[in-house]
């Protein structure tokens, strides 16, 4: 049975609790073949990913392929090593054991670095700022959270302006082949969305205009009430 479709690979440039970058690939049997698009992922659910599309991330693509090659290399060299050890023929050589062992250890080290090294998983402050600026209307709010995460001064965050015109972040549908038991690699341990309030604040639209409108309405109601009191007073004067 051959399974194919689209799936997200190459999770990288993460700001734990806020967002990360991932690339949608066309895959065959979960082997990432052709990159389609990269996204800043704010929230991943079972059947959709909520985020913003960005230009293809070469880092994400390279990490996706590196992780696959490292895991595949480790599995292949392990099988090679087991076959070499079980071989009892007279032409059995020491190199037949040393070579697959060396390849296996190198593949394990490469896979470990690609999966767990912070420089490959997490974003730097400059990269996180660049990604936050691509979130449209949610960019300034995201920048405040990025500054807070990196312990930077947030006094100048009001000067941040989004570089995209997107104001609504739409869910990105996922094909059924992408659904598995592990909904999101970044939803475990330190990469889990730390606070629903933080992630929700990046998703919901800016309410500043609504608050200003409510304030204007309340002022209008007060002025209207004052006019009614003045009219009643003038009517009382006419009656007298």
3-state SS string for 105-150: HHHHHHHHHHHHCHHHHECCHHHHHHHHCCCHHHHHHHHHHHHHHH
Higher pLDDT, 99 or 172: 99
In this model, does residue 110 exceed pLDDT 70?
yes
pLDDT at 55: 95
CB of 227 closer than 8 Å to CB of 46: no
Q: How far is CA 53 from CA 83, 117, 164, 206, in A?
A: 46, 25, 11, 20
- 20 beta partners: 41
Rounded-to-integer distance, Cα 9 and Cα 192, Å = 17
What is the pLDDT at residue 100? 86
Residue with tokens 């690609």: 114
The 10 Å Cβ neighbour count of residue 170 is: 11
Long-range CB contacts for residues 228-237, cutoff 8 Å, separation at least 24: none
Dihedral Cα 21, 7, 177, 46, nearest 10 deg: 10
Report whether 68 contacts 76 (CB < 8 A): no
C-alpha to C-alpha distance for 201 and 119, rounded to whole angstroms: 27
Which pLDDT score, from 0 to 100, does residue 209 have?
A: 43
Q: Is the pLDDT reported for residue 95 higher than 80?
A: no
Residue 163 three-state SS: coil
With CA atoms as reference, report the closest residue to 114 among 80, 49, 64, 154. 64
Section 212-223 average pLDDT: 47
pTM above 0.85, yes or no: no
Partnered with residue 37 across adjacent β-strands are 24
The label of the residue with tokens 């989004």 reads 162
Mean pLDDT of all residues in the chain? 73
Res. 206: pLDDT tops 50: no
Per cent of the chain over pLDDT 70 is 60
Could you state, in order of their start, the residue ranges of all structural domains in the chain?
A: 4-203, 208-240
The stretch 31-38 carries a mean pLDDT of 95
Structure tokens at 83: 């076959």
The per-residue pLDDT for 208 is: 42
29 within 8 A of 44, measured Cβ to Cβ: no
102 against 157, higher pLDDT: 102
pLDDT of 36 reads: 96
Q: What is the pLDDT of residues 138-163, one digit of tens each?
A: 889 999 999 999 988 765 544 445 55
Tens digits of residue pLDDT in 62-94: 999 999 999 999 999 999 888 887 776 656 666
pLDDT at 84: 80
């Amino acid at each position: 049975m051959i399974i194919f479709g689209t799936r997200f690979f190459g999770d990288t440039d993460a700001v734990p609790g806020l967002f990360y970058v991932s690339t949608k690939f066309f895959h065959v049997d979960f082997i990432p073949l052709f990159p389609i698009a990269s996204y800043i992922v704010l929230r991943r659910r079972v059947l959709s990913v909520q985020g913003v599309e960005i230009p293809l991330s070469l880092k994400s693509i390279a990490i996706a392929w590196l992780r696959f090659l490292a895991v595949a290399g480790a599995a292949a060299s392990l099988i090679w090593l087991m076959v070499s050890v079980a071989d009892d023929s007279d032409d059995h050589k020491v190199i037949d054991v040393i070579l697959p062992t060396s390849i296996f250890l190198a593949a394990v080290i490469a896979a470990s670095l690609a999966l767990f090294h912070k420089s490959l998983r997490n974003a730097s402050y400059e990269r996180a700022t660049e990604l936050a600026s691509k979130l449209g209307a949610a960019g300034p709010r995201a920048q405040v959270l990025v500054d807070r995460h990196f312990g930077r001064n947030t006094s100048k965050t009001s000067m941040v302006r989004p570089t995209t015109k997107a104001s609504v972040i739409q869910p990105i549908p996922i094909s059924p082949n992408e659904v598995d038991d592990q909904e999101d690699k970044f939803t475990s341990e330190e990469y889990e969305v730390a606070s629903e309030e933080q992630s929700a604040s990046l998703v919901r639209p800016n309410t500043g205009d609504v608050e200003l409108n409510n304030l204007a309405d309340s002022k209008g109601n007060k002025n209207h009430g004052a006019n009614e009191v003045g009219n009643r007073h003038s009517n009382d004067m006419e009656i007298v």
